[in-house]
Homo-oligomer: A and B are copies of this chain.
Amino acid sequence: MPSHFEQSQLEQYSLLLNQSILEENFAAFKQLTEQELNPSNLAYIIESNPSNQRIAIWENLTESIQYEIIPYLNDELQASFLKNLSPEKIKTATQDLERDDLADILQQLPDRISDQVLGVMTPKDRKDMEVLLSYDEDCAGGLMNTNFISVRANITLEVVLRFLRRHSDLPEQMDCVFVTSRHEKLVGILHLSKLLTHEPDLTVREVMNSDIEGIKVNTSSNEVAHLFERHDYVTAPVVSNDGTLVGWITVDDVLDVIREQADHTVLSFAGLDEEEDTFSPAFKSSQRRALWLGINLLTALFASACAFLFEATLDEIVALAVLMNLTPSMGGIAGTQTLTIVIRGLALGHISKNNIRWLLGRELIVGFNNGLLWASVIGIAVYFWKASIGLSIIIGVAIWINLIIAVITGTLLPIYLKKKGIDPALSGGVILTTITDVVGTFIFLGLASIVLLS
């Protein structure tokens, strides 16, 4: 079974998988999920589908494949699939997970369920888990695993080799064993490559790297990521404040930190958080984005209030000049939110022609909802200000239409640009705001000309 496919092959498989479900062709589904696709590819396909298809694929998988896929899904999906299982099943489903990943999942689950899962563990496992759960998710303690291997400095490599041979299930990522004192203090690191290239009768002390300092257990994840980047670590030991070795961090978890941190920055610029999934449902997505639009409305009103101070200067239809910037501004923000989500989705390879239509539909609903919400608010406010029902309707309608145009542009523009080989992150924003500015100004003043001056 091939271990990885190109993007385009995975898109093809995603299509076939959805087709087999629609056509209730269970033989094809079984062939695809049990023969052709491995768990990490299946997880990727699930993540690249809107929620209904996600659930349909998930529910058609055999239990044992579900268990294999769990580790490859993002935290939010893991929690959403797991929370419907009994504590025993969760335990089975997660038994192959690394401890730190399991701790992340337990933190996502409702307390009641995570307590039950801890309840069915062996006392030792439970104690280990409780230690991991006691650390903040965003620090070295939350990233580490506790299944490290440590040896003493005074033994020979021969003894280490014999010792390792007794462990049949060394983690594949393990590139070193840690060297500790009798009091479990970290004193060095012995890389497997050194272990393999030195004479077996040398002692650990003669071969180990003692230049190394452990990462303190309460170091922030960001700082951990910097250390890995700066020092090109694959694994690093984690120590308590008194230097006792308590765990180790592997680079795969650091990759996730960097990816999340990067996502966070990109999404934050549009007032979104990293929980924002490309395919979260319209209603949830509307809610998350509505607040940001409201904040923007408030701040745009500051500028309007400022213009209003100069009423004498702009005396004729002062209201028009004062309110002129609101429609383009709201459209710009709503469009940027959509654009950011779509660009991130493209970067992660989650968007393909299989799901553009779904995405556009979702965005239309979001634009419709949030447009209606803020158009009503501003319409009512303007009515109280000027007691002009005409002006009130004009600005409301202009904002509503502009928001809908903004989300359509925000969805289709980056996909189109990418297809043409133009970088959507660079040129998408400026094209989008030009469209929302021009359309917003045109609709608002155009409606005003027709309604108020006729």
CA distance A434 to B303 in the complex (A): 7
User: CB-CB < 8 A to A84: which residues of B?
Assistant: none
Task: State which of A26-34, A56-64, A169-177, A353-361 sits at the interface with chain B.
Answer: A169-177
Q: Number of residues in A with C-beta < 8 Å to the partner?
A: 110
Per-position contact with B for A285-306: 1 when CB-CB < 8 Å, else 0? 0000000100110011011001
Residue A310 interfacial (CB < 8 Å): yes
Min CB distance, A294 to chain B, in Å? 11
Residue A368 interfacial (CB < 8 Å): no
User: CB-CB < 8 A to A312: which residues of B?
Assistant: 449, 453
User: CB-CB < 8 A to A147: which residues of B?
Assistant: none
User: CB-CB < 8 A to A118: which residues of B?
Assistant: none
CA distance A453 to B259 in the complex (A): 55
A268 touches B441 (CB 8 A): no
A314 touches B321 (CB 8 A): yes
User: CB-CB < 8 A to A4: which residues of B?
Assistant: 213, 215, 227, 230-231
Residue A24 interfacial (CB < 8 Å): no
Residue of B nearest to A449 (CB): B313
Residue A25 interfacial (CB < 8 Å): no
A445 touches B306 (CB 8 A): yes
Task: State which of A123-131, A190-198, A275-283, A405-413 sits at the interface with chain B.
Answer: A190-198
CA distance A246 to B344 in the complex (A): 32
CA distance A445 to B420 in the complex (A): 42
B302 touches A3 (CB 8 A): no
CA distance A248 to B295 in the complex (A): 49
A197 touches B234 (CB 8 A): no
Residue of B nearest to A268 (CB): B425
A193 touches B192 (CB 8 A): yes
Main secondary structure, interface of A, reads helix
B213 touches A193 (CB 8 A): no
B161 touches A196 (CB 8 A): yes
Residue A222 interfacial (CB < 8 Å): yes
CA distance A189 to B81 in the complex (A): 33
Decide yes or no: A40 and B446 within 8 Å by CB, A175-B172, A197-B170, A313-B453 being known contacts.
no
User: CB-CB < 8 A to A448: which residues of B?
Assistant: 310, 313
Residue A421 interfacial (CB < 8 Å): no
Residue A315 interfacial (CB < 8 Å): yes
Residue A261 interfacial (CB < 8 Å): yes
Residue of B nearest to A343 (CB): B265
List 7 other contacts, CB 8 Å, given A169-B197, A306-B437, A310-B445.
Answer: A1-B211, A2-B213, A192-B193, A222-B349, A265-B347, A292-B430, A313-B448
- Closest 4 interchain pairs by CB? A262-B262, A268-B425, A170-B193, A303-B437
Binding site for B on A (CB under 8 A): 1-4, 6-7, 40-41, 43-44, 72, 161, 164-175, 191-199, 211-213, 215, 219, 222-223, 226-232, 234, 251-252, 254-256, 258-259, 261-266, 268-269, 271, 273, 292, 295-296, 299-300, 302-303, 306-307, 309-310, 312-317, 320-321, 324-325, 328, 343-344, 347-349, 423, 425-426, 429-430, 433-434, 437-438, 440-442, 445-446, 448-449, 452-453
CB pairs A–B below 8 angstroms (19 shown)? A6-B223, A40-B230, A41-B230, A165-B196, A166-B197, A175-B192, A192-B192, A234-B234, A255-B258, A258-B258, A259-B262, A262-B266, A264-B425, A266-B269, A306-B438, A310-B445, A310-B448, A325-B325, A325-B437
